[in-house]
Every structure is written in structure tokens, then in C-alpha cells.
Structure 1
Amino acid sequence: MGNAERYVDGFLIPIPKDKVSKYREIAQKAGEIWKELGALEYYECIGDELDIEEMVSFKKAANTSEGETVVFSWIVYESKEQRDKVNEAVMNDPRMKEMMESGSPDIFDYRRMAYGGFKTLVNL
């Protein structure tokens, strides 16, 4: 299967600045699980240059409030079908369930997260 057929899940997450360190810990563990179960790449990026003149800022797109920043993340898979299998395995993994039950939902409000699945348009 060629790179052009890869599938990507993308996320835009508003997160309190004072919880970035805790988020990093959870994201590191989650990323290791995703990769172990088949994801090809896993990225979690914290906002740096977010207010670009004459463009919609990521902070505005994520509807952040004072004291919040943005996490932009994506996970790469071989295909949409493989993504579905990996995500099902991740959601059923006891390590993920434990993280979700042990307070990680307090780090950010998942209902404010933007999420989507993307077909590859260009891959160089």
C-alpha cells in the first residue's frame, strides 16, 4: 500500500496552560499505546505562533479562553480500515481505560475538541 493511501485522524484541542505538563504525560502514554497497536505516526504539538495577522487563529478556531492554549495533533494510519481496527483496539486496551478513569478527563473537555478523519490528498 503506497503512502498516498494513508489515513490521518486530526485533533484541535483547547487546553489550560497550567495542565500542559500533565497532558504531555498522558499523551506520551497514549501515543505509545497507539503505536504499539498499529498507528504509523503519532504527533502532539503545543501552540507556539497562534495569532497570525489576517488569518483565523488556532486559538479562535478552538474557542480558547484566557489561560488556554491549543494542542494540534494527528495520528497516521495505513488506511481508514486499519485506523478503525487500531482505534477499536486502543479503546478496548485496559491501559487506556485506566488512564481515562484516573483523572485524565479533567485535563481538557473532550466536547470542545475538534476531530476529523482525513484521506491523504498529497504526500511527498
Structure 2
Amino acid sequence: MSYIDGFVIAVPTANKLQFIEHARHFDALFIELGAIRVLESWGTDVPDGKLTDFRRAVQATAEETVAFSWVEWPDKATRDAGMKKMLEDPRMDPNNPNNPPMPFDGKRMIFGGFETVVEVKA
């Protein structure tokens, strides 16, 4: 079964197009380095919870939208090798003028790697 990296991000709503541009630029690197699929999702139904919720998890303000993204890898070994290469890749350098600027506060992004334990397909 596959391995998933998941990301929850608070993005200024006004930066939606910049977020998409940023994702298109960097998501291609994930594929180049072995990912099977990358999905970027823009929150349209992200309710406030009574105890916790996506918005609180990333300290989203009223002017921000929660984005939920994931990268699917064939296995953890491919993910580990791909992420190592990605972090070393000069195309990830925020000081490189050819790279689109980060359209969100990366310090409030939450992320993690997950082993797939159940998969149901149509």
C-alpha cells in the first residue's frame, strides 16, 4: 500500500491564485522525485468545531482559508528518499528568484507522514 504525506495550511484567501501557482511549481518536484499523485484542496466547507478543528489547528484568521494537501508515494522508502532530495534541491530555496514566494505562513502549517492501512476503491 502507498504512503501519504498530509498538510493543513492557513492561506490568506486573497492569495488563492498565488497558492495554486506555488503548488503547481513545487508539486511537479514531488512527482519528479517519485510521488504517484499530489492533491491540493481549497477549503469550502471547514466548520468550526466545539473542541478542535482544522482552522484552530493552523490558527487560521477570518481572512484565511484552510488548504488541505497530500502527496501519495508508492511506499515510505520512496518518500524518504524523495523528501531528502527535495529538501536539498536548489529549486526549493526561497532565496532563488525563479521560485514563487510562499503565499502562506509555513510556521503554522501542520504535516505528517501516514502509512496506508485501509484502501477502498469504487
CA distance in 1, matches of 2:51, 2:58: 14
Q: Which residue of 1 aligns with 2:101?
A: 104
Which residues of 2 match residues 39-118 of structure 1 at below 5 A?
39-51=35-47, 56-97=52-93, 100-101=94-95, 102=97, 104-105=101-102, 107-118=103-114
Local SS of the residue matching 1:84: helix
CA distance in 1, matches of 2:52, 2:108: 17
Percent same amino acid at aligned positions?
A: 32
Q: Deviations over 1:38-88 (max 9, x none)?
A: 111111111011116768442233221120011100001111111010111
CA distance in 1, matches of 2:16, 2:53: 19
Deviation of 1:123 after TM superposition, in Å, equals 1.2
Deviation of 1:15 after TM superposition, in Å, equals 0.9
Computed over aligned residues only, the root mean square deviation of the Cα atoms, in angstroms, reads 1.8
Query: Whose helix fraction is larger, Structure 1's or Structure 2's?
Result: 1
TM-score (norm 1): 0.84
Deviation of 1:23 after TM superposition, in Å, equals 1.2
Structure 2, unmatched stretches of 5+, are none
CA distance in 2, matches of 1:111, 1:53: 22
TM-score (norm 2): 0.85
